């Protein structure tokens, strides 16, 4: 299949080089990103690197991206994006990438984390997509299923996006008058969350809450199978704000952004930059226009906690 050549000044001997820095290996987001280029017959070279949950590896990758003369840098997650782009107003051209377009994905709170001050424009070499459904819409989704009054929120206090999300949930609990049981994962001496503490925490929360909430938290999503299995064994239903908690874990339900659709939206922005020379600052930071309500029916059967008929009218049922 012949691929269309790039127009104008971007036509070159090699296709544009996209340097992809992943946080926890390949996901559906990257599949959607690359599929967009294939389906739209846009030539591109993808160089994929994975920091495997360790953002301290990013400086070496920044050096490699520069050496390889990347035309665009793709970043996954808040920790990687902050390390690559820096904060707006304080980015360092030595430590951060300031002269290559950056397109980020899976950043839960780009404003609150300081990556951008406005979703309308980063005012610099950065744009991207956010995957998180607003907390009030998440709460509406929870209440559509059942009126859970004691919600346990587990989170990694070392992840800025998780901390921001908890701050928003705390404010919502004060407004909506439900009980929010916050449970930060304990950290080791190096400030890293202790995975071995998770089963005991879930068992403890099962005695205190009637719903477990898993938010946009890379550490929790890395342990999604263990977390949701332990919760299910304790007969504690789980709501996941991230698709992986449902499709690759055993959460009961959730309101999520589809991974592949997020990747396609990010790729659309990348294509505008590479093909049409649009500046990243001219492209707003966006979420998907529609979210997916997912229900794991095998979990519902196991818990004997079936969704109401009105939810079944619009939910995607998975097993």
Higher pLDDT, 179 or 1: 179
The reported pLDDT for the residue numbered 11 is 44
CATH class name, domain 8-131+259-282 = alpha beta
Classify residue 60 as exposed, middle or buried by CB count within 10 Å of its CB (0-12, 13-18, 19+).
exposed
Give the containing element (helix H, strand E) for 145.
helix 135-145
Q: What is the mean pLDDT of residues 160-173?
A: 94
- Residue 153 has a pLDDT of 97
How does DSSP classify residue 307?
A: P
Mean pLDDT of 199-227: 95
pLDDT of 8 higher than 90:
no
The model's pLDDT over 110-120, given as tens digits with 9 standing for 90+, comes to 998 999 999 99
Residue 56 reports pLDDT greater than 60? yes
Q: Which sequence spans correspond to the domains of the chain?
A: 8-131+259-282, 135-256+292-318
- Region 123-139: mean pLDDT is 95
Closest CA to 161 of 117, 123, 121, 111: 111
For residue 1, pLDDT over 60 is answered with: no
pLDDT band at 2 (very low <50, low <70, confident <90, very high): very low
pLDDT higher than threshold 60 for residue 5: no
Give the per-residue pLDDT at 12.
52
Residue 40 pLDDT > 90: yes
- What pLDDT is attached to residue 235? 98
Q: What is the mean pLDDT of the chain?
A: 94
Q: What length is written for the chain?
A: 319
Topology adopted by domain 135-256+292-318: Rossmann fold (3.40.50)
**Mean pLDDT confidence for 257-280:** 97
- Please give the backbone phi and psi of residue 233, each rounded to the nearest 5 degrees, phi first: -60, -30
pLDDT of residue 160: 87
What is the predicted pLDDT for the residue at 13?
A: 75
Q: Using CA atoms in the order 99, 100, 105, 111, what is the torsion angle rounded to 10 degrees?
A: 10
- Region of poorest pLDDT, from 52-56, 152-156, 184-188, 210-214: 52-56
Q: Taking residues 156-161, what's their average pLDDT?
A: 92
Amino acid 4: pLDDT = 40
In this prediction, residue 7 carries a pLDDT of: 44
Q: pLDDT tens digit string along 68-111?
A: 999 999 999 999 999 999 999 999 999 999 999 999 999 989 99
Q: Which of 11-20, 72-81, 185-194 has the lowest mean pLDDT?
A: 11-20
Common-topology check for domains 8-131+259-282 and 135-256+292-318? yes
The tens digit of pLDDT for each residue in 282-319 reads 999 999 989 999 999 999 999 999 999 999 999 999 99
Whether 275 has a pLDDT exceeding 90, the answer reads: yes
Sheet with 238-240: list strands edge to edge. Answer: 179-184, 150-155, 211-214, 238-240, 253-256, 292-296, 316-318
Q: What pLDDT was estimated at residue 205?
A: 97
Report the pLDDT averaged over residues 17-44. Answer: 97
pTM score: 0.86
| Alpha-carbon gap, residue 314 to 153, rounded angstroms | 26
């Amino acid at each position: 299949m012949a691929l269309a050549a790039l127009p104008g000044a971007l036509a070159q001997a090699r296709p544009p080089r996209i340097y992809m820095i992943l946080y926890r290996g390949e996901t559906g987001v990257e599949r959607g990103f690359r599929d967009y280029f294939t389906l739209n017959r846009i030539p591109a070279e993808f160089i994929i690197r994975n920091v495997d949950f360790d953002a301290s590896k990013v400086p070496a990758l920044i050096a490699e991206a520069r050496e390889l003369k990347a035309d665009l840098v793709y970043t996954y997650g808040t920790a990687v994006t902050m390390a690559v782009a820096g904060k707006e107003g304080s980015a360092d051209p030595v430590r951060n990438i300031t002269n290559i377009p950056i397109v980020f994905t899976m950043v839960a709170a780009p404003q609150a984390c300081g990556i951008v001050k406005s979703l309308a424009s980063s005012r610099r070499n950065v744009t991207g997509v956010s995957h998180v459904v607003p907390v009030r819409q998440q709460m509406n989704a929870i209440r559509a299923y059942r009126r859970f009054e004691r919600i346990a929120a587990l989170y990694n206090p070392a992840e800025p996006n998780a901390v921001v999300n908890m701050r928003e949930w705390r404010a919502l609990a004060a407004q909506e008058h439900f009980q929010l049981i916050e449970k930060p994962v304990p950290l080791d001496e190096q400030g890293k969350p202790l995975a071995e503490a998770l089963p005991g925490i879930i068992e403890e929360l099962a005695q205190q809450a009637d719903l477990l909430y898993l938010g946009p938290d890379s550490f929790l999503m890395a342990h999604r199978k263990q977390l949701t299995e332990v919760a299910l064994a304790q007969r504690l239903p789980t709501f996941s704000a991230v698709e992986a908690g449902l499709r690759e874990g055993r959460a009961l339900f959730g309101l999520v952004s589809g991974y592949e659709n997020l990747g396609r939206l990010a790729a659309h922005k990348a294509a505008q930059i590479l093909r049409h020379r649009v500046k990243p600052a001219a492209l707003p930071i966006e979420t998907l226009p529609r979210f997916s309500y997912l229900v794991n029916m095998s979990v519902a059967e196991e818990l004997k906690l079936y969704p109401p008929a009105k939810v079944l009218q619009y939910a995607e049922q998975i097993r």
